Amino acid sequence: MKPFRFTPILKSLIWGGDKIAPYKGIATDQPNIGESWELSGVAGDESVVADGEYAGRTLPQLIAELKEELVGRKVYERFGTEFPLLVKFIDARDDLSIQVHPNDALSQMRHGKHGKTEMWYVVGADEGAHLKSGFTQRITPEEYERRVADNTLTEVLCDYAVRPGDLFFLPAGRVHAICAGSFVAEIQQTSDVTYRIYDYGRLGKDGRPRELHTELAKDAIDYAVQQDYRSHYEARRNVETELVACPYFVTSLYDLDEPVEKEIAAFDSFLVVMCLAGSGRLVDDKGCETPIRQGETLLVPASTRRVRFVPDSEMKLMTSRL
C-alpha cells in the first residue's frame, strides 16, 4: 500500500497572508489564505484522498476501510475512524488572537471532545516575525480577568522574535499566539476546541468584535512560569532529529542531501511526512516510489515496514506519528 496524498483544505482568514499557495505550488483565487489543512479528520473538514485507487474517499472513510493497516492496531483500537492528528501550514500576515486550549479532562467534561496539545515548527519568517508563548510573570486568575478587561494581557506574555527552524511545544493550558510574519507547520491533537482570550479589538467578517471566551479560559490556563518557552534541539544533517515526544505525537526532522532509511514497523502507527523544503522520493519496503516536494504532505500506512527518504539534491522533511 503506497503513501496517500490528500487535497489540501485552504482556509481564508482575516489574518491570512499570501505565502501558502506559492509555497505549495498551487493556483487558487482564494484571498488571505491563513491555513492549509494537510491532514484532517475534523467533522466537516475531512481530508479527501487526491489520487490513486482510493481517490475521493475522506480520511475517516479510508480508516474505516483499511483499519489497522492504515493507522496501526493500537491507534485503531483507541480512536476508531477518527484520525488523531490535525496537520497544518499556517501563514500569519497579522497577529492571530491570543488563545488557550483545554486539556483532555476539561475538554471532555465541557465539550465531549479531546483537548489540544500542539507544536509549531517555524518554516519561514519575515523581518520582525514573532510568536507569543507563556507568561513573563506569575499572575492569578483574577489578574488575568482584569488584564483582559483593561487590554493589558499582552504585557505579561512572552514574545519571541523567530527565524526558520525555531520550535515551540505548546501543551494544553499554555497561552499562545502566532503573530505577524510567521509561517509555521503545526501538529496538534484532533480538536476544534479553542478559547479566544484577546483579539486586539479586531472585527470579524460580520463587522462585529469576535467572541471571547474569558470565563472558559480562566480554568483552562496553566499559570506556571518557565524561564524559556522555546524548545531547543541540535540540527544535524542526514540523521533523524527528534523534535517533540509527548503522549499525543512524536515529531522528527530530517535535513537531507543523501538517502536515509527509517524503520517504522515497530511503532504500530501511521507516519505523516511533510516536505518543508526541496524535493525527493519516499521508497517503501516493497520498492514503491512516491514523489514529494516542498509544501506536500503524505500519509504512510502503518503496514509499511520501512521507508527510505531519497532527496533529489536537498530535502527537508518533518515526520509525525503516535
Catalytic residues: 196
Say if residues 319 and 186 touch (Cβ distance below 8 Å): no
Strands 182-189 and 118-125, how do they pair?
A: antiparallel
DSSP codes joined into one string, 245-284: EETTEEEEEEEESS-EEEE-GGG-S-EEEEEEEEEEEEEE
Start-end of H helices in the chain? 20-24, 59-66, 68-71, 73-79, 104-111, 141-149, 214-220
Distance of CA 113 to the CA centre of its chain: 18
User: Which phi-psi region, left, alpha or beta, contains residue 18 (left: φ > 0; alpha: ψ -120 to 50)?
Assistant: alpha
Reading the block at residue 112, the C-alpha cell is: 465531549
Distance of CA 259 to the CA centre of its chain: 26
* Residues near 195 by beta carbon (within 8 Å), at least 6 away in sequence: 99, 100, 101, 102, 213, 216, 217, 220
Say if residues 318 and 259 touch (Cβ distance below 8 Å): no
Reading the block at residue 221, the C-alpha cell is: 490556563
